[in-house]
Chains A and B, each alone.
Chain A
Amino acid sequence: MNTLPVQIAFYSLAALTLISAAYVVRARSIIHAGFWLLPCFVGVAGLFATLQAHFFFVAQLLIYAGAILVLILFALMLTRDAMSLHVPLKSHLGIWAGLISAGLGISASLVLARQSWSVTTAHPAGPARQAEALGEALIGLYAVPFEVASLLLLSALIGAVVLAKVERAPAPEPPPLADTLPEPEETRKEPVGVE
């Protein structure tokens, strides 16, 4: 295997990820911050690709770059503050945040440096086998954690629905004479969607 191109790819992807992550933090507009996540996620996906983890590469693209990021942006756009470009950049929590992330970073680096990793030069399993192996692991050995995780997600989903299902504010005061007409909600039949 040709290592130099792989190393070049690795370092550039790592740089991409880190720089865009920095921009996510630094961006003035919260929407811009959201969009800076895109190169960040793509960079991570690329790192997976350099590691020959094809399934993770595609999944990262599909789930993070495709779905999660879009949802994040969607949520941002629906909130009031995102409209203004003047979200305060300085926060009194900045010092604490810095301290905590520095501590986390240092401890993670220490762990990484101290731990003796079993490094192998053996070629990973054939790419076609990877997905299969992963699937078998998920419904075999790790079936229980997998199901528990999905249960967690389900409860989160239900919780979100419960939280979001706010009673809609009543329609604004109808104009005069409208008292002769029935409420719009009642007169309209079941939404005639193509069901």
Chain B
Amino acid sequence: MSMQRLHPRSASQAREILIGVVIAALILAALSATPLLPWHLLDPIRAYFYERPLLNNLAKAVLLVSFMAVQCLFLIWMERKFAGWLQARLGPMHVGWKGVLQTFADAIKLLLKEDIIPALADKPMFRLAPYLVFVPAMLTLMVLPFSPNLVGFDYHLGALFALSISTTGALGILAAGWGANNKYSVLGGMRAVAQLLSYEIPMILIVLCVVTLKNTMSLTQIVERQAGLWNIVAHPLLMIPGALIFFSCALAEVYRAPFDLPEAESELVSGFHTEYSGMRFAIFYIAEFANNVFTAGFAAILFFGGWHGPVLPPIAWFTLKTLLLIFLMMWVRWTLPRLRIDQMMSFCWKLLVPASLILFCLTALSVVW
């Protein structure tokens, strides 16, 4: 078609794609071989931790947070690369092979950067805000089952708990917006909170649909009960619109285009974190990506069968699904324009909330019959 004529891809770039595919295949092959590894050698260590619940939990938390930090670094690189390719650019290329180490360099730069607090800022709030955003973002991951064995805290109210914790993140954004004493920040913070609270409602309703269908609030059990068929396949009429609504809400929850109003850079400069620099900014950034991982993982659990899948080990499937959903989010983000605040609100209250209510009623009916 016409596109081929416009800017044909050069041979070297085709080769790069090929290399990428081969690497991905190798990684997948290595992952699928993991069940064959001598895991039983680790049993004494497991037993040691199992006997000491406090230590066990601590170790889990440390593992989870460091895993998230590393994953965020990787995701940030991936997003920049992806956006670059999508926009006919190369993305980061300088640090490391094809810029893989770019985010590490950025992290070091941010660490070494002068830590600026505006003179007229509300200092305690300004300092507190990044942690109020970061801690809930990490806590949500606590109940997320990465595989049958790998779950921080298999809570029987997991779905509700995750939602409630993620709402608390709004406070941090409000604190950031208020504390910086910057008008753009205040506007951004207000927008963020209004958006978060509004989109929470359809999101909770859709989660309730799944909970009603599966008759449990535990995320592990929700996944386990999708063993045969993923939700989206088992109940297509309910779950496809459900997944769409959930996806829109997820985009709004993590402030991504077309719902990135809180940090709309063309209007509000950078929204609630306009005044942040250095490590505080990095914490916001990591929290944002942790939220991304959480919402994508949550969607994978609710609709796409979590860790279920053939051949590959469960953790690989879960990661794969999460990554694909994150890719989808990025793709949408780099394609669509941004909505206006009132349009976004009317979209939520006039379309998503009624639609999710109807969906919930239908789900209840389908369960009763």
Residues of A within 8 A of B (CB): 29, 31-32, 35, 38, 54-55, 58-59, 61-62, 65-67, 69-71, 73-74, 77, 127-128, 131, 191-195
Contacts and interface: CB of A to CB of B under 8 A. Distances in A.
Given A29-B122, A62-B160, A131-B157, A195 B171 contact: no
B26 to A, nearest CB: 43
A61 B125 contact: no
Contacts of B163: 62
Contacts of A62: 160, 163-164, 167
Nearest to B340: A193
Among A55, A66, A128, max chain B CB count under 10 A is at A66
13 contacts: A31-B125, A38-B168, A54-B157, A58-B160, A58-B161, A61-B161, A61-B168, A65-B164, A66-B168, A66-B200, A128-B216, A193-B350, A195-B350
Contact of B351 (A58, A128, A194): A194
Among B174, B175, B193, max chain A CB count under 10 A is at B174
A74 B347 contact: no
Given A70-B193, A70-B197, A73-B174, A32 B164 contact: no
Given A62-B160, A65-B167, A193-B343, 18 more contacts: A31-B125, A32-B122, A32-B124, A38-B132, A38-B168, A38-B171, A58-B157, A61-B168, A62-B164, A67-B167, A67-B197, A70-B167, A70-B197, A74-B194, A127-B156, A128-B216, A194-B347, A195-B350
Nearest to B169: A66
Given A61-B165, A195-B351, A32 B125 contact: yes
Contacts of B157: 54-55, 58, 127, 131
Given A58-B157, A74-B193, A77-B190, A35 B171 contact: yes
Contacts of A69: 171
Nearest to A74: B193
Contacts of B164: 58-59, 61-62, 65-66
Interface string B191-234: 00110010010000000000000001110000000000000000
A35 to B, nearest CB: 6
Q: 8 closest Cβ contacts across the A-B interface?
A: A66-B167, A62-B164, A193-B346, A193-B343, A61-B164, A194-B347, A58-B160, A128-B156
B53 to A, nearest CB: 10
Contacts of B128: 35
A195 B194 CA distance: 19
Nearest to A60: B164
Contact of A191 (B132, B165, B175, B343): B343
Nearest to B193: A70
B268 to A, nearest CB: 16
A54 B124 CA distance: 32
